[in-house]
Amino acid sequence: MSDVIVLGGGIVGASAALMLAQKGQRVTLVERDFCGSHSSGVNYGGVRRQGRPLHQLPLSQRAHQLWGELPGLIGIDGEYVRCGHLKLARSAADFAALHAYAERTREFDLGLQLLDRAELRARFPWVGDVAVGASLCPEDGHANPRLVSPAFARAAQCHGAVVHEQAEVVRIKHDGRVFQVHCANGLHLHAPWLLNCAGAWAGSVAAQFGEPVPITSAHPAMLVTEPLPVVMDVSTGVEGGGIYARQVARGNCILGGGRGFALGPRQARPGQAAVLEILRNAAELYPFLQGAQAIRTWSGTEGYLPDHEPVIGPSSTTPGLLHGFGFAGAGFQLGPAVGEALAEIVCSGASRQPIEAFSIRRFQA
């Protein structure tokens, strides 16, 4: 018998398992495929606070602290660098929006620096002329999701969590006190706590407990270049959306933009339209890419709720059931803090960070 069953081995579930194990709980993590093989392992790798809605910022700030302790938490640096996140504005209106954001988030101490055209040119000469200004968050950065997310599960295991991979949860029963979880491979587990961290697939668990949510899947398109001379010294994005890009130490540039399509319930591809969009338009923002070659593309399956906010916190129907899913393309950075918040609810009844805005109750009319 475990104290807690965590359903889903993405960064959210694995962080929760790690934090719970660190607090002495008996944790079992069940993952249908391999830990960190879905969104958490294939995302763009942006670890940024800049641009998030205000009510996400307390959680995001806490995540920022945890990312700062990454090697101590998971045993590797995960290629995490705090090189800064530069958000580009393509018009005066977009630049004004960046100003307004900086104003609104002043109390959170993100350290945002607004750069006008001349300052932007001087500091980041590789940015294309289409940018009229930018906002820099110097302490944001990026990391390698392929390494970071599986390492959270590995760390949980090292702290005593039991991790079952290739174990798909197919049936869950609750007798008012204990959850009985059955997996396709014959595994049976029970525990008084169940954490629903099943990412884009979490909706069916919620629905089963009488609290359906309007979750949909979407598939951000990703692309990577051959290694290029290192020029990008910050991770970038564009106000109002568009092509985002970062460059890793090895020299490869990773770009995202647009949406792909589902190949099946678990697999996705970026799609030719999105790939060609990136190849045609990226050089406008990042002129040094002209003539470089894209060597690989990919996508993933991410859960989105209509308001683009996650569901985090206790079930409204079932004691012992906690949710943490639906991060709308931005859960990699938040993941460790969400895991911690869920662990705190289990251990002390409440999360230290405010999470009321993410309650599943918001979908109950």
Residues that bind other proteins (CB under 8 A): 34, 37, 41, 146-147, 150, 154, 225-226, 263, 269-272, 275-276, 279-280, 282-283, 289-298
Selection from ligand FAD, other proteins, none that 358 binds (CB < 5 to 8 A by kind) is none
302 is a contact residue toward ligand FAD (CB under 6 A)? yes
CB of 290 to other proteins, least distance (A): 5
7 is a contact residue toward ligand FAD (CB under 6 A)? yes
CB of 359 to ligand FAD, least distance (A): 17
Calculate the CA dihedral of residues 32, 36, 37, 40 and round it to 10 degrees: 120
Distance CA 2, CA 185 (A): 19
Residue 303: strand, helix, or coil: strand
CB of 181 to other proteins, least distance (A): 23
* CB nearer other proteins, residue 177 or residue 280: 280
Q: What residues from 42 to 101 belong to the interface with ligand FAD (CB under 6 A)? A: 42-46
Selection from other proteins, ligand FAD, none that 236 binds (CB < 5 to 8 A by kind) is none
* CB nearer other proteins, residue 125 or residue 293: 293
343 is a contact residue toward ligand FAD (CB under 6 A)? no
Look-up of token digits 């985090």: 312
* CB nearer other proteins, residue 88 or residue 112: 88
124 is a contact residue toward ligand FAD (CB under 6 A)? no
Cβ within 8 Å of residue 248, ≥6 positions away: 79, 142, 144, 254
Paired sense of beta strands 321-325 and 193-196, if any: parallel
Six-digit token string for 109: 């101490």
358 is a contact residue toward ligand FAD (CB under 6 A)? no
Q: How many CB atoms lie within 10 A of CB 178?
A: 14
CB of 161 to ligand FAD, least distance (A): 15
* CB nearer ligand FAD, residue 116 or residue 166: 166
Distance CA 342, CA 35 (A): 18
Six-digit token string for 319: 């004691």
Helix 145-158, helix 331-348: angle, nearest 10: 20
Distance CA 48, CA 117 (A): 23
CB of 48 to ligand FAD, least distance (A): 7
Comparing C-alpha atoms, which of 110, 156, 157, 161 is closest to residue 135?
110
Which one of residues 78, 150, 335, 336 is an interface residue with ligand FAD (CB under 6 A)?
335
Comparing C-alpha atoms, which of 210, 241, 223, 246 is closest to residue 323?
210
* Residues that bind ligand FAD in the complex, under the rule CB under 6 A: 7-13, 30-33, 37-40, 42-46, 168-169, 197-201, 220, 222, 299-300, 302, 325, 327, 329-333, 335
